[in-house]
Amino acid sequence: MNYIPINEQDKKEMLARIGVKNTEDLLSLQIPEVLRAKKLNITEGISEQELLLLFKNYAKKNKSNLVCFRGAGIYDHFIPSLVDEIIGRSEFSTAYTPYQAEASQGTLQAIFEYQSMICQLTGLDCANASMYDGATAVAEAVLLAVRTSKKNKVIISSAVNPEYISVVETYTKNLNIEIIKIEIDEKTGSVNQNLLQSKMADDIGAVVVQSPNFFGIVEDMQVLSEISKTKNALFVAIVNPVSLGLLKTPCEYGADIAVGEGQVFGNQMYLGGSTFGFLAVKKALEWKIPGRVVGQTIDKNGKRGFVLTLQSREQHIRREKATSNICTNAALNAFAGCVYMACLGSNGIKEIAETNISKARYAFNAIKKIDGFEPLFSNSLFFNEFVFKTTKNVKKIEKQLLKENILGPLNLVKINKKYKDCIMFAVTEKRTKQEIDKLTDILNRV
């Protein structure tokens, strides 16, 4: 299959119009013979039927649809049927970037609605149209904070998702920005407030904290924000949007920038991508943010409409002076997030957050009762994820669970060597009581 709807007769007519004999002659008008490629060593094309078979075969080699108790940044949440139905409509999925506003009102309004909901969720004033994922959103937030504060030192909690920290390190490596990682309080699993206080100095541009943090623990964002303000550093909050159904909004505790991973809102896990990252800021930072932004305006007849706006920040106009190099973002994934939020409404998101908390607690309490399992942290203020230290064989646990179609907790030693025998569970609203009971039953048996 080559998806070319042009037959030999058409080709002849087209070549005649151009005035060349064949396509080889046409190509040689542009490309010197010595630069031409040899025949590509790629197997011959196949039919649609063969293609489906081929990919069904790849698919079969995956162990999929496991009952998932694993999180660490990507979570197995329920997705309402409406989400895939709406984002799968070709008017949205195949549409080009909305450069021609008058013919792109659907896409533009969808982004505007998305921005509005992110603003409501975070309490902040301005959200962009999306970043690639949570990790790159954090990295862009760090660059934005440095740009705004004009100070090049940034403190980041080591309880931030390690994938995010890695990306921040990649993004800042060549830009004369110093990333200061502060250790957590190993007892509580949360930011060591005294340590943060002692590290604060006039040259700190921003403090970056995640809550719920990598270990699932809800940080005292109010206090941490206040500590960072003592030296006028910007406070960057990395938040799980599901948790915002219950927890204080970043605005309420004085965050200047809120970012996070949007996968939890209506996006399948897909091995960790594609997802979307969200980024929201206070009004004062509006003109400094990275990426596309949609604004409301009116047309010639006074009718409400939407356009890409604040464009003089962006690469296609400012080139090397742009606030970011981002062009393509994660529009369709963000739209999935938008449809998800619209399906649930604020009460629905609150309910989901409550269900996550209560199911996670049910599992936590059940596991705590099993011999050989101790909670790693004394802080019990966690959202839908928690860590246990076990005297049992972690590999054996994983193997046995997998045998019974369960993707068990994450072995944290793979993330950080100091967490030997520590395993992290995620329990979302999607897990049933039966599934949790089966999990604890197996943990008991192993």
Q: Please, which of residues 59-88 interact with another protein by CB under 8 A?
A: 59-66, 68, 70, 72-74, 76, 88
Sign, CA torsion 156/158/159/163: positive
Which residues 326-355 are close enough to bind another protein by CB under 8 A? 326-333, 335
Binding region for another protein (CB under 8 A) out of 179-187, 314-322, 348-356, 364-372:
314-322
Residue 419 near another protein by CB under 8 A: no
Binding region for another protein (CB under 8 A) out of 239-247, 285-293, 355-363, 379-387:
285-293
Q: How far is the CB of 383 from another protein (least distance, A)?
A: 18
Q: How far is the CB of 187 from another protein (least distance, A)?
A: 26
- Both structure tokens of 278: 């969200």
Tell me the C-alpha distance between 1 and 154, whole Å: 52
Which residues 95-154 are close enough to bind another protein by CB under 8 A? 95-105, 107, 110-112, 115-116, 119-120, 125-127, 129-130, 132-136, 143
Tell me the C-alpha distance between 424 and 128, whole Å: 32
Residue 27 near another protein by CB under 8 A: yes
Residue 286 near another protein by CB under 8 A: yes
- When the beta carbons of 37 and 347 are compared against another protein, the nearer one is 37
Among 158, 309, 400, 444, binds another protein (CB under 8 A): 309
Tell me the C-alpha distance between 443 and 314, whole Å: 52
> What are the beta bridge partners of residue 204?
153
Binding region for another protein (CB under 8 A) out of 10-18, 210-218, 349-357, 369-377:
10-18
Strands (E), 361-443: 373-375, 385-390, 406-407, 410-411, 422-426
Binding region for another protein (CB under 8 A) out of 212-220, 320-328, 368-376, 427-435:
320-328
DSSP-derived secondary structure letter, 230? T
Q: CA end-to-end span of the chain, whole Å?
A: 51
> What are the beta bridge partners of residue 67?
406
Residue 180 near another protein by CB under 8 A: no
Tell me the C-alpha distance between 135 and 440, whole Å: 32
Residues touching another protein, count (CB under 8 A)? 155
Residue 432 near another protein by CB under 8 A: no
Tell me the C-alpha distance between 48 and 2, whole Å: 11
**Residue among 214, 261, 219, 239 at smallest CA distance from 419:** 214
Which residues 245-284 are close enough to bind another protein by CB under 8 A? 261, 268-274, 276
> What are the beta bridge partners of residue 234?
206
**Residue among 191, 209, 218, 222 at smallest CA distance from 154:** 209
Binding region for another protein (CB under 8 A) out of 178-186, 228-236, 252-260, 294-302:
294-302
- When the beta carbons of 220 and 421 are compared against another protein, the nearer one is 421
